[in-house]
Amino acid sequence: MIVGLVADTHDRIPAIAELLQKMRDKGVTLVMHAGDYCSPFALEPFVESNMALLGIFGRNDGDQEGLRSVAARGMGMELYESPHSFDVQGRRILLVHDLGEVNRRSIDAHQFVVSGFTHVQETIVRPETLLVNPGEACGWLHGKCTSAILNLETREVEIITL
């Protein structure tokens, strides 16, 4: 299965919509969001693209009820507190906004860890765990809107940059 990874969208609607389209063009049907949507309207591109979403809240997601309300309108959109652990096709995945929220043992208990917060794209390959921070989808801090595509079978990560 191929999944999209995104974090730190911070209300930048055009970038969110374009990244989702690029993901869809590459066969992505599920996106994992590591938090900091900011406003509820930042989820509209997900609703409009009919893209399934597994997401967590970040530190800048003040209106969590509003975000949940918009997510309820989408198909297969679920939002959780950070950190959140789940299985996708038999793969154990941890979605966390800031890696500082979890200890090494929790990280090591997962095959994949997706994080955000730093606004810096990073991929760390360990024998049992792959850690991916897709960077900032908003591009506000570093001038590049980034996300990633992860193949859960091969553990390959492709970075998408606008």
Q: Over the stretch 49-92, which tens digit does the pLDDT of each residue have?
A: 999 999 999 999 989 999 999 999 988 999 999 999 999 999 99
Cα(first)–Cα(last) distance of the chain, in Å? 24
The Cα 28–Cα 10 span in angstroms is: 22
Q: For position 85, which CATH number holds?
A: 3.60.21.10
Domains in the chain: how many in total?
1
What pLDDT does 109 receive? 97
The Cα 152–Cα 80 span in angstroms is: 21
What's the domain range around 110? 2-161
pTM: 0.97
Percent of residues in the chain assigned helix, strand, coil, to nearest 5: 25, 35, 40
Alpha-carbon dihedral of residues 24, 17, 70, 159, nearest 10 degrees? 60
75: phi then psi, degrees, rounded to nearest 5: -90, 120
DSSP, collapsed to helix, strand or coil, labels residue 30 as: strand
